[in-house]
Chains A and B, each alone.
Chain A
Amino acid sequence: MARGADDTTARNWFGDDGDAERQAHQRAGDDGSAGTAAGEAVQASVAPPHRSMALDETVILPRQPELGQRSHTPLYRPEDRVALLETAVIPRYRDEPDQPPTLSELAARYGLKPAGARPGVGEYLRELWRYREFIATYANGRIVAQFGQARLGRLWQVLTPLVNAGVYFLIFGLILGTSRNIDNFICYLCVGLFIFNYTQLTASTSVMSISGQIGLVRALQFPRASLPIAMSLMQLQNLLLSVVVLAGIVLVTGEPLSFEWLWLVPALALQSLFNLGLGLFLARLGAKIIDLRQLLPYILRTWMYASGVLYSVEMFTLHLPSWAAPIMHANPALVYIELARHALMEGIPMSSPFEKLWLMGGAWAAVALVLGFLYFWRGEPEYGRG
């Protein structure tokens, strides 16, 4: 510390940035001994004892520039430039009086606004509404592009769910012959599968909606929420086709056609709103954390196993402790699956009473949509950053 003691002369503090911490302690020590400010006295007591060795010496601290105020930063150096355009208004130094206005003043005078600033929620929603045609066209374009290289083209929109159902029928219906205490297990399975698939596909396409279209985002300025919204629309269209396939499966497996089926419409509407909110949330998360794309399939698979797709929902109450079952029952995917099963099938075990399912379904949709939208909107200026 011998060198330190030598250094504690007034002059040596100047321009010695690395010693800022030591200065602070020094100052606190001085003030503390004088008993001026209570806050600084506390700081002094925290300071290590060897710091106060130069207490009796006079220390003059360099004046620190205040935060937020730049000290004479030349915005433009005259020697950098050969010729001035005749009327260009470029201030030389901000702090000099009698100079032309600063650039920000000039901007304010002509009503120029900072580029890429985040609009308010209301303005953002209006802006999205103005871009509705773009959103619809983009969603449509992605549907066409989805199977663009396949020879059967958009026929795959119907074939994909059919093949999916066929695989599960083969394994669970023919090979394993499972019934798991449910009369029409194939139908039970397919409804769960198709409904979960809807949320799963929306999630996995939304997570890429920004990060996968970074070129589009960097090329054109439009409300970024258009992209995840278009992805949700695209999956909604895919769903409508798979619901037709599903209806066929339900009828073929022996469920009666009834007015109960109409409950499917509000159930899918609530699920779509939930998916949209989830998609917006994942779109921003996926734009920030690129690795999420790799991780998401595993998260989604775990979610599917927890959503009573492949087994009867009675398993929750049978095998889980009493405190855990209600948590599992609140799972949004399970809620929407149960609502659809209730609409399409007769005499199946339910995880929760009918009214409670609707309440949970509505709550999940509202919460996901509001939080997802706000979360995405807050990140609006960030999308496109390298």
Chain B
Amino acid sequence: MAETTSARPTYSSGQTYTRVPTVIVEDLHVVYKVNAGVGAAASPVAALKRILTGGPVGTVREVHAVRGVSFVAYEGDAIGLIGSNGSGKSTLLRAIAGLIPPTSGTVYTKRQPSLLGVNAVLLNDLSGERNVVLGCLAMGMRKSEVTPRVAEIIEFSGINERGDFASLPMRTYSSGMAARLRFAIAAAKSHDVLLIDEALATGDAKFAKRSEQRVQELREGAGTVFLVSHDTSSIEAACERTIWLESGVIRMDGPTAEVLAAYQEFTESSGS
């Protein structure tokens, strides 16, 4: 895979580096502006008072989700991202995908990374089939490429296992079915960089196995895969490198077995 670049660059230390970086994250900070918009502070009287006194507009609060993260990901890497809830994993993925602009720092990528997450909303009033076409086109595929593959994608998602759901609007789907369809759509294209947000956790054991296999295939297609999950076993199965985020800072970055061991120790000690 490293042979994609003809000349191997040599650095000042004299060492030759053969791996090709696909994603470089440099000192990344992401600050969210969250419009709380609920509770007593959002009452009309309070809003009027704020306008009159020139206070901060709305109930905007800032959340510093990612604080100075730097790392390099290489071609063929499958990197797991772990951390407790709200540690900034999903935000980091979105920033890598270029979907959330960084507050400071830079994310360098070779080509457009694709985020495939359970939060990805397609058009709920459209049928599963139409959503497959739409999703594929939105990823930059041509219509002539998409049409012959629709059946295959629906087959992979397994939404037709209990009757013809593909022709029903997506709002009639269970959350698991919708998540499986989204995964199937995103996995239909070979991506240089694929970002998966807890997708493997959804769906039954059969689907988990299929998707694991697909992730493996995508990796072999010279891509880089990022996998965010709370389920350490799926990371163990799919990734050999793991980054552990805690409150927006990289706590550990290394071989999956070591990082997971340290992480488990951490969660057990903080739990007791």
Contacts and interface: CB of A to CB of B under 8 A. Distances in A.
B201 interface: no
B202 to A, nearest CB: 15
Contacts of B143: 133, 137
B72 A222 contact: no
B107 interface: yes
Contact of B70 (A90, A138, A145): A90
Given A98-B12, A106-B72, A134-B137, A116 B123 contact: no
B155 interface: no
Nearest to A107: B108
B133 A82 contact: no
A381 B22 CA distance: 21
Nearest to A149: B125
Nearest to B131: A141
Interface residues of A, number: 58
A81 B18 CA distance: 23
A218 B110 contact: no
A367 interface: no
A141 B137 CA distance: 12
B26 interface: yes
Contacts of A217: 99
A73 interface: yes
Contacts of A109: 9
Taking chain B's interface residues, is the majority helix, strand, or loop, or is none over half, making it mixed? Answer: mixed
B184 interface: no
B133 A137 contact: yes
Nearest to A214: B121
Interface in A116-146: 116-117, 130-131, 133-134, 137-138, 141-142, 144-145
Contacts, number: 192
Given A83-B255, A220-B139, A115 B123 contact: no
A100 B24 CA distance: 14
Interface string B203-244: 000000000000000000000000000000000000001000
A222 to B, nearest CB: 5
A155 interface: no
A377 to B, nearest CB: 15
10 contacts: A80-B250, A107-B106, A116-B107, A130-B140, A138-B134, A141-B123, A216-B123, A216-B138, A221-B97, A384-B99
A84 interface: yes
Kindly state the interface size class of chain B when it binds its partner: 35 or more
A81 B134 contact: no
Given A82-B254, A109-B9, A216-B122, A104 B135 contact: no
Contacts of B121: 213, 215-216, 219
A322 interface: no
Interface of A: 73, 75-76, 80-85, 87-90, 98-104, 106-107, 109-117, 130-131, 133-134, 137-138, 141-142, 144-145, 148-149, 213, 215-222, 290, 381-382, 384-386
Given A104-B108, A112-B21, 16 more contacts: A76-B70, A80-B252, A82-B254, A90-B72, A103-B25, A107-B108, A111-B110, A113-B109, A115-B113, A116-B99, A131-B137, A141-B123, A145-B126, A290-B35, A381-B98, A386-B34
5 cross-chain pairs, A with B, having the tightest CB-CB distances, nearest first: A215-B121, A116-B98, A219-B120, A145-B125, A107-B108
B108 A115 contact: yes
Interface string B102-145: 10001111101111110111111110001001110111101100
A212 B147 CA distance: 28
Contact of A115 (B96, B116, B117, B140): B96
B99 A81 contact: no
B190 to A, nearest CB: 16
Given A107-B24, A141-B126, A222 B138 contact: yes
A215 B18 CA distance: 38
B266 interface: no
Nearest to A140: B130
A130 B133 CA distance: 16
B98 A221 contact: yes
Contacts of A386: 32-34, 100
B29 to A, nearest CB: 12
Contacts of A88: 71-72
A114 B241 contact: no
B100 A385 contact: yes
A107 to B, nearest CB: 4
B11 to A, nearest CB: 6
Interface string B3-18: 0010001011100011
B105 to A, nearest CB: 10
A140 B113 CA distance: 27
B99 A114 contact: no
B258 A82 contact: yes
B98 A115 contact: yes
B251 interface: yes
